[in-house]
Amino acid sequence: MAALRGALIGCGFFAVNQMHAWADVADAEIVAICDRDPERLKLVGDQFGIERRYSDAAEMFADGGFDFVDIATTVQSHRALVEMAAAHRIPAICQKPFAKTLADAKAMVAACKAAGVPLMVHENFRWQTPIQAVRKALDAGAIGEPFWGRFSFRSGFDVFSGQPYLAEGERFIIEDLGIHTLDIARYILGDVTRLTARTRRVNPKIKGEDVATILLDHDNGATSIVDVSYATKLGTEPFPETLVELDGTDGTIRLSQGYRLEITNAGGTTVADVSPKLLSWAARPWHNIQESVFAIQQHWAERLKDGGETSTSGADNLKTFALVEAAYESAASGRPVDIKAML
């Protein structure tokens, strides 16, 4: 079967990872790129040998010649670009955060549904090797029914040098990073009925919150905590590891710093190294994220070919995005938020 031909919009900081990963994905290739910044367009076009280059996405869609589009721009342009893809009946991947508001996100899902085209959100953290290892242990029944969890990302890493826009928005850690952690919580413990959140800003040089603590009630009766911070200075910097604690009816799982997975149950305690692979183009400490970029893009290519639903489809991601909106609402009001009422 012929390789899927993709077009990528947004040749910025993170798109370079996506371009490397596309080069590794079986049966897919990027044939056109677009960026309104000529410098980024040239840099990425030259690095990856892409001849078809556009400064205007509408022109690229009008010319066509590709089977899917990978939208790697920042959130402001996501709705317009996804709707453009739907209008041209082109399957689309859209980076997180999916949209500026839940109403926009719902409209984007509806547009792709009406056009009959698949839509996947590039929500890659659930594809990280250590998170997949936790999911596998749960599926194997290693700890029985989980009744409590903690999903924790606490770091002092300077994310602002690579992504300066993160310092400028009214919203920061929940929208940019907590969105991944909330998605992992859903992936591991299932959908959420109610959420309570507290936030604060510690770093005086940024506009948004850099610490958040969120309490989740899951459909299955489990309770979990999602806690995220970019104001946490530790002896050994854990960026970008998500640490997981799960208590179940028959045992416990602990995913701790250094990609160490410990499972305790009636059979005793086992410890495994669940480190991500260092792909040829990857660099520490980003390699955990970089490997998950390859994994989600390979998944997209496979589902596009077999017609199956992706793990982080637009419809699925509405349930993660609602948690982001609810966290800001709860932090502002001090009250719990009913998630089902938002969907």
Query: Which residues make up the interface to ligand NAD (CB under 6 A)?
Result: 9-15, 34-37, 40, 57, 72-75, 77, 95-96, 122, 124, 163, 176, 289
CA-to-CA distance for 109 and 314, rounded, in angstroms?
A: 6
The number of beta carbons lying within 10 Å of the beta carbon of residue 338 is: 12
H helices present in the chain, as ranges: 15-24, 38-48, 57-63, 78-87, 102-115, 129-139, 173, 179-189, 287-306, 314-333
Stretch that binds ligand 89V, among 72-80, 140-148, 176-184, 327-335 (CB under 6 A): 176-184
The tokens describing 231, both together, are 């104001």
**Residue 60: CB minimum distance to ligand 89V, A:** 25
Cβ-based neighbours of 28, under 8 Å, separated by 6 or more:
3, 4, 5, 6, 22, 297, 301
Identified binder of ligand 89V from the candidate list 159, 214, 253, 282, rule CB under 6 A? 159
Identified binder of ligand 89V from the candidate list 41, 112, 177, 253, rule CB under 6 A? 177
Size of the site for ligand 89V (CB under 6 A): 7
- Does 146 participate in binding ligand 89V (rule CB under 6 A)? no
- State how far Cα 240 lies from the chain centre: 13
**Token pair 């919580």 in the structure block, residue:** 185
- Decide which of ligand NAD, ligand 89V, none touches 37; Cβ closer than 5 to 8 Å per partner kind: ligand NAD
Nearer to ligand 89V, 137 or 293 (CB): 293
- Per-residue burial over 243-262, b if 16 or more Cβ lie within 10 Å, else e, is bbbbbbeebbbbbbeebebe
Stretch that binds ligand 89V, among 55-63, 133-141, 175-183, 210-218 (CB under 6 A): 175-183
- Does 134 participate in binding ligand 89V (rule CB under 6 A)? no
Distances (CA, A) of 239 to 131, 142, 258: 15, 28, 10
**Residue 264: CB minimum distance to ligand 89V, A:** 30
Identified binder of ligand 89V from the candidate list 146, 208, 240, 248, rule CB under 6 A? 240
**Residue 127: CB minimum distance to ligand 89V, A:** 12
The number of beta carbons lying within 10 Å of the beta carbon of residue 139 is: 8
- Does 163 participate in binding ligand 89V (rule CB under 6 A)? yes
- Decide which of ligand NAD, ligand 89V, none touches 72; Cβ closer than 5 to 8 Å per partner kind: ligand NAD
- 207, 172 Cβ separation under 8 angstroms: yes
The footprint of ligand 89V (CB under 6 A) covers 159, 163, 176-177, 180, 240, 289
